[in-house]
Chains A and B, each alone.
Chain A
Amino acid sequence: MDDMLSEQFDRLLTGLGPIEQTDTLDTGPKSEAWRAIAESGFLDALTPEEHGGAGVPFSEIFPLAVALGRRLTPAPVIETMIARAILARAGHEPPEGSIALGDTGETAAWRLRDLGGRLALEPAAGGADTEFAWNGSPLRNLAVATLAARMAGAVEAVLTMTIDYALIRKQFGREIGKFQAVQQQLAVMAEEVAAASAAARLAFVDDFTALPSGLAAAAKLRTGEAALLVATTAHALHGAIGISKEHTLQLFTRRLHRWRLAEGSGPYWGLLIGRERLAYPGGSVDFVRTLADAR
């Protein structure tokens, strides 16, 4: 996806309203926000061209997935893209409205469920709908790819916010960002932000239907670790003001904690990739290399 599309997507998200309103932004099926997203044409980015989509590789929508985290947009945009592409491939006309993958997507109109070897599309309100065979990557892998990218975007926003604050808040006659102890903590945050971005990127393989569990695991585990450190340090450096409801920081940190625990926390994915490593006959470097090259 080229920079122009990325910018167009950013503009779309910005147009939905300020970050401060993320808690109250209605992105439900009938909302204006969702209509704007649907009309943008982005929802069929992953759908193959022969099914009327743009056929963009999953790897290239990574910046979009990160942008959603950076802006805390609650709508399940990437999830809907994935679901629509899956449905189209399976020969089903995708329904109108947002689609959640498993349990993610707070406001979705539809839910795609993984029944193991089969997928079911259900209205969020309940009741069965379409069911079809699926031998691609488990839906949970795809759900954590989107969560990992959201976390990568959100920790980046939190770092920026914390640096800005450290450069204006003064104590002892100077900006707190001039104190070495504060600088060192911000440097560690920057390291974790970079690691989160690299980790989430691992899950954005070209073909999402073949996302290996090991890569999803590495992405979720490592972004979760970064989310914890960044959220904790950001609060420490903001002082009391970060605890107030009015401040934007809590909008990010509350979500970071929710996302890091959603769809399997670090230990869930750690056990999964740990079992894969133990079943691998070679060395650790060969193991992670083979994993990364499976893209």
Chain B
Amino acid sequence: MSLVLESPPIRPLPAEDEALRAEIKAFIAETLDGVQASARARSWMGFDAEFSRKLGERGWIGLTLPKEYGGSERGAFARFVLSEELLASGAPVAAHWIADRQSGPLILRFGTETQRQFYIPRICRGEAFFCIGMSEPNSGSDLASVRTTAAQNADGWRLNGSKIWTTNGHRSHYMIALVRTSGTPADRNAGLSQFIVDLQAPGVTRRPIMDLAGDAHFSEIHFDDVQLGPDTLVGEEGAGWEQVNAELAFERSGPERIYSSMALTDAWIAWLQARGDVTESETLLVGQLSARLAVLRSMSLALTERLSRHESPVIEAALLKDLGTSYEQSIPALVGEMVAATVDADVPADLLATLDYVTAISPSYSLRGGTREILRGIIARGLGLR
């Protein structure tokens, strides 16, 4: 309980980490010059392999990973600065995002030496893109019920089943899949394991799924007798559930759970500033959004500090994700009504397009990475209620 409420003093970030900010800003200003808000609003759903490779060249992928595997061995706060700048500016980071955020750290922590040497340097160069294979057609919130199986054979493992809603599944090189290696779905979280699946392997079929905004960013993937080598198991056989939960703490705690509507917020405020004659209701909404953002950012920093101490604050990560996604999800409704309240104003087309996109896609904020109800269940368990 007291864990949930602990809020360490927030100090300015270490100077050497802050120093990174100017470099990143300069890089973004140059690379994304002229990119419109409606494109920036896609941010970590925006896939641009070339952009990712450029980040890799600068050492900005795998920032916290060890140098011996091609990383930069920087701390968690340096990574916070980098993520924050990329997300706040709406940089198209989707291609490497998952590899950088969770697959790389997962392989480092649980992988074999061979796996580390093979995958991590490629991740850091922006050459190996990963996706997360957790959800299946019949297993969403109830993740422990996955039915995809890997059966051990003479050559390693044989994979059968399917995954769905896999972000970037059709344009990634590898998937880290959570599958059953023993028992049945009735055994729940026992008997699950994680594998690195080469998505070019024979027997893998991938089909992009169009989302409601007209983008094809996630996909459906089938495994039909896919032969996996012996060194594709990550960590221990049967320890998949614990590993996935450690991974989810990383997935849930970052600034991407707060900043998804930032392109819209800033496009709107820039318009108010250019237009002038800002009404009191507009000013108040600007103020409310700023105050809430200041608090969420400080919470995200506090959580980053916990992760940097190699803790796995599962409950706090769930708590922040729910607060953060509620915040970013509220923005299109609030800003939309405010924009439309000025009926005679000449609203820029790009602001309207951004509003359209964010309004349409925002329900996904509280689904991806675990739904609101599931997160609240995790918090309730932390409170001793379950």
Contact = CB atoms under 8 A, between A and B. Distances in A.
Interface string A251-295: 000000000000000110111111111100101111111011101
B323 A195 contact: yes
B291 interface: yes
A98 interface: no
Given A59-B9, A292-B298, A295-B12, A187 B383 contact: yes
A271 B287 contact: yes
B137 to A, nearest CB: 25
A183 B384 CA distance: 10
B265 interface: yes
B379 interface: yes
A275 B288 CA distance: 11
A197 B278 contact: no
Contacts of B200: none
Contact of A222 (B269, B282, B295): B295
A142 interface: no
A275 to B, nearest CB: 6
Contacts, number: 174
B291 A273 contact: yes
B interface residue count range (under 10 / 10 to 19 / 20 to 34 / 35 or more): 35 or more
A221 B287 contact: yes
A278 B283 contact: yes
B107 interface: no
Contact of B294 (A59, A160, A267, A291): A291
Interface string A78-115: 00000000000000000000000000000000000000
Interface stretch (A4-12, A34-42, A198-206, A241-249): A198-206
Contacts of A293: 12
Q: Is the interface of A mostly helix, strand, loop or mixed?
A: helix
Given A191-B319, A283-B88, A218 B295 contact: yes
B284 interface: yes
B302 interface: yes
A270 B323 contact: no
Interface in B92-107: none
A197 B4 CA distance: 10
Contacts of B291: 199, 217-218, 221-222, 269-270, 273
Interface in B1-33: 1, 4-5, 7, 9-12
12 contacts: A222-B292, A267-B284, A270-B291, A283-B89, A283-B266, A284-B289, A285-B259, A285-B293, A287-B290, A288-B293, A291-B294, A292-B298
The 9 A-B pairs with the shortest beta carbon distances in the complex, nearest first, are A274-B287, A270-B287, A183-B380, A187-B376, A187-B379, A285-B88, A274-B283, A218-B291, A288-B294
